[in-house]
Structure 1
Amino acid sequence: MDRREIAALLAYIGRLDPRTIRTDQGEARDQLAQWHELLGDVPMATPHGWDARVAARQHIRISPYQILPADIARPWESYRRDRLARHSDPTPSADPDDQAAWTAELVGTRRAVAVGTAQPSQARAITRGRDGIDPRLEARLREVGSCIPPAARAALAPYRPARAAREMAVALGQPDALNVGCEWCKAQPGEPCRRRRIGPDDGVLSTAPRAAPHPGRLDRATAQQAQQTAMA
């Protein structure tokens, strides 16, 4: 609030609580300077729910004590904290490679939310079904065929051989062995088969993922695929 707004707020408070009125010109000037020093960064009102006059009226209505600048500043800080707690940073529109612009947009958005000039951005819930898919994202996925670009997929293949083998089998029209569990190593559907290291007493010392599924698991997946084809 600037000095004129502070003066207007003090005049409003004086109508509700005459104890705050200063009749001496020097005392009134000192009061105005004090309130402006303490509330200079607090707005008179914002488009989204804050009004210093409402905070003042609430204090005067419920408290027997004369109002102080802190009785305006405390509700304002609570208002700011509540808005920031409900805010989830949206993805900036700036180029993510431009760190300065990216950070500046994030800070600017948070500041606008905190001071009440913008509404908090709520985190969108994960939705199911085609109605929850952004049309632009859907079009892009149809264009590229996958959310992972082919070049990135090829670069990742040496580091995830089981996934690469699975994708290759699906691309060739072969059954996906990971759709079923493995009776040999007890791997669950979706998990890669594991090879066991057996100790002298026939105990399992360790296991490690296999790039290729066990033959019996592949046979089960083939039988399941044939059954689904026949039913279709």
Structure 2
Amino acid sequence: MTRHEIAALLAYIGRLDPRTIRVSQAEARDQIAQWHELLGDVPPATPYGWDARIAARQHIRISPYPILPADIVRPWESYRRERLARHCDPTPVADPDDQAAWTAELFGTRHAVATGAAEPRQDRAITSGRGQDDPELQARLREDGSCIPPAARAALAPLRPARAEREAAVAQGRPDVLAVRCEWCQAQPGEPCRRRRIGPDGGTRATTPRATAHHCRLDLAAAQQAQEPKQLA
């Protein structure tokens, strides 16, 4: 806020709480200088929900003490933290090899979000559990079948073959092997089966993930899939 904006804010506060009014011109000048020193980086208002007058009015409504600059700064810092917590950095358009340009673009985007000049990018809200009652979000999930778009899933398939094989099996109606616990290696649901490495003394020295599941786990998954229609009936 500039000195003129600080003066306007103090005039508004003075109408709500006469205790903050300074009678002499020197006292008013010192008050404006003090508030400007502490609130110089706080905007009077932003297009997305922040207004210093609302923060001041809220303090005057609930507190019996005269308002201080800290009573404006605290809501402003909470506003900044909440917006950055909802923000998901978009991929910069700058050349990734140009570290300075890449970093500057990320900083500029975050600064615009934190200062209320831009709305947060909420890509991660699809998987964060918030907004599950949003009709638009539910329609998108029904259309794509997952929070990961089909094009992105296809691009990731070569990088995670086990997950791709599992998704292909489910899509083809085959049992989901990783949905059950393996009775042989004790792998929990969602974890791949593991191969034991036996030492010379006959004890297990280490385990390594297997590319395929144990036969007993395949049989258990098939049996569980066969029982599902009966349970539904």
- Is the TM value for this pair above 0.5? yes
Equivalent residue number for residue 87 of structure 2? 90
The structure with more radius of gyration: 1
Conserved 8 A contact 2:92-2:106: yes
How many Å separate the matches in 2 of 1:181 and 1:217? 7
CA offset digits 1:122-159 (Å, max 9, x no partner): x96615589583434543458x97474313212432xx
For 1:63-212, what aligned pairs fall within 5 Å after superposition? 72-87=68-83, 88-91=85-88, 96-98=92-94, 99=102, 100-112=104-116, 126=129, 133-141=137-145, 146=150, 148-157=152-161, 162-170=162-170, 173-212=173-212
1:8-87 matched pairs, under 5 angstroms: 9=10, 12=14, 16=18, 20-22=22-24, 28=25, 30-40=26-36, 41=40, 46=51, 49-51=54-56, 62=65, 72-87=68-83
CA distance in 2, matches of 1:4, 1:165: 62
197 and 35 in structure 1: CA distance in 2 versus 1, 3 angstrom threshold:
same
Match of 2:215 in 1: 215
Deviation at 1:8, TM superposition (A): 8.8
Superposed CA offset, 1:6-36 (max 9, x none): 38947948x94599423xxxxx2x4343233
Q: Per-residue deviation at 1:166?
A: 3.1
Farther off after superposition, 170-179 or 71-80: 170-179
Amino acid across the alignment from 1:51? A
Segments of 5+ residues of structure 2 without an aligned counterpart are: 46-50, 95-101
Q: What's the RMSD between the two structures over aligned residues?
A: 4.7
The number of residue pairs the alignment matches comes to 205
CA distance in 1, matches of 2:229, 2:19: 83
Return the letter of the residue paired with 1:90: H
Aligned equivalents of 2:65, 2:165: Cα separation in 1: 71
Deviation at 1:198, TM superposition (A): 1.6
Which residue type is aligned with residue 2 of structure 1? Answer: R
CA distance in 2 between partners of 1:218 and 1:7 (Å): 73
- Residues in 1 aligned to 2:224 and 2:59: alpha-carbon distance in whole angstroms: 69
Residue 196 of structure 1 aligns to a residue whose secondary structure is: strand
Identical positions, percent: 29
CA–CA distance in 2 between the matches of 1:139 and 1:216? Answer: 35
Instruction: Specify the SS of the correspondent of 1:153.
Output: helix
Which letter does structure 2 place at the counterpart of 1:84? R
Deviation at 1:215, TM superposition (A): 1.9
Corresponding letter in the other structure for 1:207 = T
Distance in 2 between residues matched to 1:101 and 1:7, nearest whole Å: 34
Q: Secondary structure at the match of 1:189?
A: coil
What does residue 7 of structure 2 align with?
6
- What is the TM-score of this pair, normalised by structure 2? 0.61
CA distance in 2, matches of 1:19, 1:149: 63
Matched position secondary structure for 1:84: helix
Cα distance in 2, alignment partners of residues 8 and 211 from structure 1: 66
Partner SS, residue 112 of structure 1: coil
